[in-house]
Amino acid sequence: MTGKDVLGKLDLSVLSTEQQEKLRQFKIKTRIDNEKYLNSHPEVEVLIGDFLRFEVY
């Protein structure tokens, strides 16, 4: 099961409106921080590309 599968099954209705908003803001901030990191470290793209091209037999 991938992370997306797990997140897709979470029942957000158990969170209060305030908690849902805090979670939404946290997700946005995390995504922005991740983008900033990847943009300032271009070597990561190369490593990921190499990793994805690697074939296991």
Please give the residue that has the higher pLDDT: either 9 or 4: 9
Q: Is residue 27 part of a domain?
A: yes
Q: Is residue 30 part of a domain?
A: yes
Please give the residue that has the higher pLDDT: either 55 or 13: 13
Q: Is residue 1 part of a domain?
A: no
Q: Is residue 5 part of a domain?
A: no
Residues 12-38 have a mean pLDDT of 94
Is residue 40 pLDDT above 60, yes or no?
Answer: yes
Q: Percent of the chain scored above 90 by pLDDT?
A: 58
Give me the chain's average pLDDT, please.
85
Half-sphere exposure of 54 (CA within 13 A, CB side): 7
Q: Is residue 7 part of a domain?
A: no
pLDDT value of position 1 = 47
Q: Is residue 34 part of a domain?
A: yes
Q: Is residue 4 part of a domain?
A: no
Of 12, 38, 46, the C-alpha closest to 26 is: 12
Q: Is residue 2 part of a domain?
A: no
Residues 18-34 have a mean pLDDT of 97
Q: What domain range includes position 17?
A: 12-53
Residues 6+ apart with CB under 8 A from 16: none
Separation between Cα atoms, residue 12 and residue 5, nearest integer Å: 14
